[in-house]
Amino acid sequence: MADIEFILDLERIDSDIYRGPAVASQLTRTFGGQVAAQALVAAVRTVDEDKSVHSLHGYFIAPGKSSQPTTFLVDRVRDGRSFATRQVSAIQDGETIFSMQASFHVRSDHGPEHSDLIREVPAPEHISMDYTKLSKNSRALLGEWGDWDIRVVPPNQYPHNPYTKGQQVVWFKSKKKLPDDPTFHVCTLAYMSDMTLLHCATVPHPDFPVQMASLDHAMWFLRPFRADEWLLYDQLSPSAASGRSLVHGRIFDAAGQLVAVVTQEGLTRTLRDGSTPVPVATKQEGRQ
């Protein structure tokens, strides 16, 4: 798996046009978190430094090809005194594969403050993962995420919300120290936020074979954080129906501060004969 600094290092092609690199992968389709993070990098580069991103809303329109670079076209929708808005289209072979709007807010505003509380869970140091019990596709995904320390909290080690059937709690962070630039950590978390989240919808249906893919992705950045320090991803799935599942995640830092919120709808269609939950390259195809 490529280093996150390589993934987020977009090449400027022209004014408001950027190219993201192809990333070697076992997956035939571009990882959704990758294209979302790269789109956010492109948007950030067109906004004045007095504003930082506070939300993004994106749609995965078509599957990207992991073996190809992606071009990002940025539309400067609005530049106001307090807020700025950007529209980003991710293009491969002349086709839009992802569309995103991102909103930026001045860093100097103040107002009332409150936050949800972090769930009581074991510290990440007390959790070990048994990867031998995972499916082939789950192991392939974790192989893609080798630069990330991901620890799923055992379901019997935290209090459950009695009103939600689908819930999952995950500690995660970058294994490597990342640059100090706060914007880099925000774009990195956009990448990380697509990890494990849709799998929360399968928790109530552990033996039900489904085809999985992200359909849309919304994210709000609430407080400063570092993506190379432990973050708790508290996930739930309010609904699954008609081959789609809604999932929601709150991300806390180790001190218990709520730093980001994610909501996503994903495809969880009954798996057809001969299909795989997540398309993985065969040995004949090799790594792209």
Which of 103, 214, 235, 237 is catalytic? The answer is 214
Sign of CA dihedral 208, 211, 216, 221: positive
Structure tokens of 196? 């494990």
Structure tokens of 240? 């699954």
Provide the b/e sequence for 171-208 (b: ≥16 CB within 10 Å): bbbbeeebeeeebbbbbbbbbbbbbbbbbbbbbeeeee
Structure tokens of 213? 């893919």
Active site residue 235: no
First to last CA, the chain: 11
Active site residue 16: no
Asked if residues 100 and 77 have their Cβ atoms less than 8 Å apart, the reply is no
Identify the CA nearest to 264 among candidates 172, 188, 166.
166
- Which residues sit opposite 75 in a β-bridge? 87
- Which residues sit opposite 220 in a β-bridge? 55, 261
Q: In Å, how far are 43, 127, 128, 167, 247 from 203, measured between CA atoms?
A: 35, 19, 19, 7, 11
State how far the Cα of 205 lies from the Cα of 62, in Å rounded to an integer. Answer: 27
Active site residue 264: yes
Which of 194, 228, 234, 253 is catalytic? The answer is 194
Structure tokens of 36? 């979302």
Active site residues per annotation: 194, 214, 264
